[in-house]
Amino acid sequence: MNRYGFRHAARMERIKLSSVRSTWWLATAAVVSMAAAGIGVGLGYRSHTPVATAAQIFNNSLGGAILAQLLLGALGVLMVTGEYGSGMIRSTFAAVPRRRTVLAAKVAVCGGAALGVGLVASFAGYLGGQLAIRGTAIPAASLTDPAILRAVVLTGLYLGVTALIGVGIGTIVRHSGAGIGTLFGLMFVPMIVAGLFGESGIQVGRFVPLLMLLNSIAVTTPVPGLFAGWISALLMCGYAAVAILCGGVLLRHRDA
């Protein structure tokens, strides 16, 4: 891959991403949803009896990631499908004929932006919960605790990787509605299926994104039977790589 061609493509993608209003709406909504969930959890536990533990507050404060993952995933989908819908993709391929370079640029730009937003959103959820319990007997969860910091960072990473899965899906499907619908299905349907098997479903559930998020990544201590948080995060990166690879193969062999 020619690095100068990639730089040119990446610059184009940065301009396109920042000039679309949906980018800012989705990014803002992701941060707000995380902060609102954190605040709501903290307020709900202020008068709770018995007094909640620091882990309870913290784990639930990051629950807004359920919505935030869909918002950032949609951002990734729209980064590709938006151009197909408007017909701009032909101009993009005319300016940068190497389609793999175009996809790599989209992955780099979207991944960097989504990771930044994901981390901000994750910290917003944490801070929202902690600020809401100030002045109560509930113990605070400090970022100096490695388990707390790990969960916050991995949750931000999870959100960023979800956007990359969206890029892969968008490249495969090439239609905004179908792409977002596919993303929604991939996030929620496997969890429902795993739940049908009861306790034995945990062997499957450890590979399901939403279950990994709620029980392994965004918690201080993973549920027994699930992978450690960092392993779950690596699995998500693997899912994103597969989606992008499949999209790249189809992109190379299909007409614009």
**For residue range 190-200, what is the model confidence (pLDDT) as tens digits?**
988 888 877 77
State the sign of the Cα–Cα–Cα–Cα dihedral 222, 160, 184, 152.
positive
**Using CA atoms, how far apart are residues 58 and 120, in angstroms rounded to an integer?**
16
Rounded Cα gap, residues 6 and 104, in angstroms: 8
**Residue 177: what pLDDT?**
94
Q: Would you say residue 201 has pLDDT above 80?
A: no
CA atoms within 13 A on the CB side of 132: 25
Contact between 163 and 76 (Cβ < 8 Å): yes
Cα–Cα distances (Å) from 31 to 24, 27, 28, 200, in that order, read 11, 7, 5, 35
d(CA 20, CA 113): 14
> What does DSSP assign to residue 215?
I
The top-scoring range by mean pLDDT among 20-24, 51-55, 86-90, 161-165 is 161-165
The token pair at 132 is 């809401």
| Alpha-carbon gap, residue 168 to 166, rounded angstroms | 5
Q: What is the mean pLDDT of residues 243-251?
A: 95
**Burial of 200 from C-beta contacts in 10 A (0-12 / 13-18 / 19+):** exposed
125-146 pLDDT tens trace? 999 999 999 988 889 999 999 9
In this prediction, residue 131 carries a pLDDT of: 95
Q: Which two tokens stand for residue 110?
A: 């979207």
Q: What are phi and psi of 176, to 5 degrees?
A: -60, -50
The top-scoring range by mean pLDDT among 3-12, 129-138, 227-236 is: 227-236
The model carries a pTM of 0.94
pLDDT at 254: 79
Q: Is the Cβ–Cβ distance between 173 and 82 less than 8 Å?
A: no
Looking at residue 4, its pLDDT comes to 56
